[in-house]
Structure 1
Amino acid sequence: MDVLTRLVVMIGLLAVGVGLRTGDILTARRVGWLNSVAFYVVLPALVFDSTHDEPLGEIISVRLLVGVVALVAVTAVIAMVVHRRLESPSARAAATVQSYHTNLGYIGLPVVASALGERAAAIGSVVLGIGALVQIPLTVMLLVRITGAGTNVRDELGRLVTNPVLIALLVGLAVSQAPFAVTGRPAAGIALVAEAALPIALLCVGGSIELESIDFDRSIVGRVLALKLLAMPAIAWLVLLAVGATPATLRTVVVMFGAPTAVSTFIYVTEMGGDRRLASVNVFLTTVASAITLSALIALAP
């Protein structure tokens, strides 16, 4: 699939999801069902399919771990500095976390698997695991700090530990080191389910977006778009280059962190006293714009 075709497909599937939600075909309940299929079945299948037959030493490294942690931390610090002058704590909270918290699962990994191949998908699965362990606690802590809202951190960590995508990653890595292999019809069946990851994920994102108003502060949203879709991939390239990552790892991380703001940030922002309307607009616009920027990143990938 060439870059132009991929761009059209991504925008088309996203638009279908938004249209079905607007027309009350994808109701909130049905979006919940679709999200459950993606979260508990399709994404774990993609992660397992990408890792179970890959040499562990070729997809996991200290450089990758350090690089991803440093990338998220650096971008978060820059976001705090850029948005520090916003008078409203709720707007500042939403803008800050949505400038770095990336949709690695529903868009980043499926795009990498579709565009860059099996080895990139294996590396991307590990990036997804590391990213979840870094992004979620950081986002919760920043929202609590900025808005002053209370939350049960223990419950959030509990959800993280029982995340089916992380479990699939651990199982896939374990199988890759086992004396037996998953082959034949079981492997083919898992691979078939994994192929549905990108279309289902984009329909989920489109159906999950809530636009309460088209009126928004363009300066705030513009900064979020610039940080999330332009600055973060550039920072990823610089950080991974600095830690000496392999070309395949560098390419994978840059594309994955070029993905838009995670839909889950809308939930976190809403629950913790952030600006719900701004959060919804940020998710929508970064997702739409990422179809173009991701296609450009893929085209530029060596």
Structure 2
Amino acid sequence: MLAVVQQTLGITAPVFAMLFLGVALKRVGWIDAAFINTASALVFRGTMPTLMFLGIIKADLQTALRPALLGYFVLATLACFLLIWGWAIWRCPKVDRGIYVQGAFRGNNGIVGLALATSLYGDYGLSVGSVLAGLVILCYNVLAAMILAIYSQDAKSDPWAICRSILRNPLIIGVVAAMPFAYWQVPLPDWLMTSGQYFAQMTLPLALICIGGTLTLATLRASSGIALSSSLMKMVWQPLLATLGAWLCGFRDADLAILFLYFASPTAAASFVMARAYNGNHQLAAVIVVITTLAAVLTINVGLLLLQWAGWI
């Protein structure tokens, strides 16, 4: 278990390092609001869609396809999304409702979930986790685009407008565009893949620096109540309910552990980028990312310990 704790810290510590770098750069005046706006737009429209495109085309969909596991993940994600949305309607101000829901269900599976699955289960964790990550990207981005469009102050909330918002979302376009390449294993030129990787590798550092640049003590105080509630949903209630449901459906050992890791991952930095793109409360989104990333060191390891103690993994 100590090795897993060290692995989790090894993944989350660089995230915090980039967040604090963003805070420091804003404090000394090396970055400003204009930079954050431009960099966030670049991530949303360019580097993150490229990262998702490359992540999916590298996955071996035909080898690691597990219909039962993938199907359960989609249904559990949708069920958790609806439960969180219902709770938000009751407990959260309308203006922040989209940000609350997105922060409470959208996990950082491409970084935390996949890395831990690979660390614990080797090639099996990598193959199953990669295919699951592709499905995660599609599910999360469709649901996030929908909920943000519904509660956006600038966008129309009629069904056709919401559909157009989803179809025009660069992250979803990147996912859909990658699917034919992944399914038929269409090779791309090496120079193009290398150039794409250079471009995509800017995604996480830029997004985290922008998050850090928006954090202030006033922001933390103003957002603390709603952010804590959303973070508890993400790090405690969602993994608890979804993992228990997976056990009741018969999942055990590596499959159950991988599902747990994906449901228990902290909120993705992409939630901040999308909040800015939809003119939502991006400061609240930033605080949720920070709280859930910090909590992940404790909740993921406690969850794995309990699953091992129960003999389920």
TM-score band, normalised by the shorter chain? 0.7 to 0.9
* 1:273 shift after superposition: 4.4
Tell me which residue corresponds to 1:14.
Answer: 15
Alpha-carbon distance in 1 for matches of 2:275, 2:123: 34
User: Cα gap change, 1:113/1:205 in structure 2, threshold over 3 Å: closer, same or farther?
Assistant: farther
Conserved 8 A contact 2:49-2:173: no
Question: What 5-or-longer segments of structure 1 have no aligned partner?
Answer: 179-185
Q: Answer with 100-109 or 278-287: which moved more.
A: 100-109
- Larger mean CA deviation between 219-228 and 80-89 belongs to 80-89
With over 3 angstroms needed to count, the CA separation of the structure-2 counterparts of 1:121 and 1:169, relative to structure 1, is: farther
- Matched with 2:233 is 227
Change (3 A) 1:169 1:230: farther
RMSD: 3.8
CA deviation vs aligned residue, 1:59-115 (integer Å, no higher than 9, x gap):
323322321121111111221222223463122221122111222223322332234
Residues in 1 aligned to 2:92 and 2:19: alpha-carbon distance in whole angstroms: 32
Q: In structure 2, what residue type is equivalent to 1:241?
A: W
- The structure 2 residue matched to 1:239, chosen from 219, 240, 245, is 245
Find the counterpart in structure 2 of residue 75 from structure 1: 80
- Aligned mate of 1:124, from 100, 124, 129: 129
Q: Residues 276 and 46 (structure 1 numbering): CA distance in 2 closer, same or farther, change over 3 Å?
A: closer
**Alignment match of 1:211 (pick from 206, 211, 215):** 215
Amino acid in the other structure paired with 2:76: L
Q: Once the two structures are superposed, what CA deviation does each residue of 1:40-67 show, in whole Å capped at 9, x if it has no partner?
A: 46x7776666x44x972xx323322321
Deviations 1:24-49 (A, max 9, x none): 278757899999778746x7776666
| Identical columns (%) | 19
Is the Cα–Cα contact under 8 Å of residues 89 and 146 in structure 1 kept in the other structure? Answer: yes
CA distance in 1, matches of 2:89, 2:143: 17
- 2:16 maps to a residue whose letter is A
Contact 2:96 2:281 in 1 (8 A): yes
Q: How far apart are the structure 2 equivalents of 1:94 and 1:32?
A: 18
Residue 282 of structure 1 deviates from its aligned partner by 0.8
What residue number does 1:265 align with? 271
Tell me, in whole angstroms, the C-alpha distance in 1 between the residues paired with 2:297 and 2:205: 14
In the alignment, does 2:288 pair up with 1:286?
A: no
Question: Contact 1:228 / 1:258 at 8 angstroms: preserved in 2?
Answer: yes
Give the TM-score, by structure 2 length.
0.72
Shift in CA distance, 45/232, structure 1 to aligned 2, threshold 3 Å: same
**What amino acid does structure 2 have at the position aligned with 1:16?**
A
- Contact kept, 8 Å, 2:47 with 2:203, in 1: the verdict is no
Q: In the TM superposition, what is the alpha-carbon distance from 1:281 to its structure 2 partner?
A: 0.8
Contact 2:275–2:285 (Cα < 8 Å) also in 1: yes
In structure 2, what is the Cα distance between the partners aligned to 1:267 and 1:38?
9
Q: 1:105 to 1:215 in 2, by over 3 A?
A: same
Paired residues of 1:10 and 1:291 also in contact (CA < 8 A): no
Distance in 1 between the 2:16 and 2:278 partners? 29
Deviates more, 1:30-39 or 1:260-269: 30-39
Shift in alpha-carbon separation, 1:173–1:293, aligned structure 2, 3 A: farther
Q: What is the aligned partner in structure 2 of residue 157 from structure 1?
A: 167
**More off after superposition, 120-129 vs 145-154:** 145-154
CA change 1:97–1:110 in 2 (3 A) is same
Tell whether the 8 Å contact from 2:152 to 2:280 is kept in structure 1 after alignment: yes
Q: How far did 1:134 drift?
A: 1.8
Compared CA separation, residues 63 and 92, structure 1 to 2 (3 A): same
Cα distance change, pair 96–271 in 1 and its aligned pair in 2 (3 A): same
Tell me the matched-pair count. Answer: 282
Q: Residues 62 and 269 (structure 1 numbering): CA distance in 2 closer, same or farther, change over 3 Å?
A: same
Bigger mean CA offset, 107-116 vs 258-267: 107-116
In 1, the alpha carbon distance for the partners of 2:233 and 2:102 equals 11
Partner deviation per Cα, 1:5-33 (whole Å, 9 max, x = no partner) = 22432343123212322332787578999
Q: Is the 8 A contact 2:103 2:234 kept in 1?
A: yes
Cross-structure match for 1:108: 113
Q: Of 91, 94, 102, which aligns to 1:97?
A: 102
Out of 54, 60, 76, the residue aligned to residue 65 of structure 2 is: 60
| 1:246-261 matched pairs, under 5 angstroms | 247-261=253-267
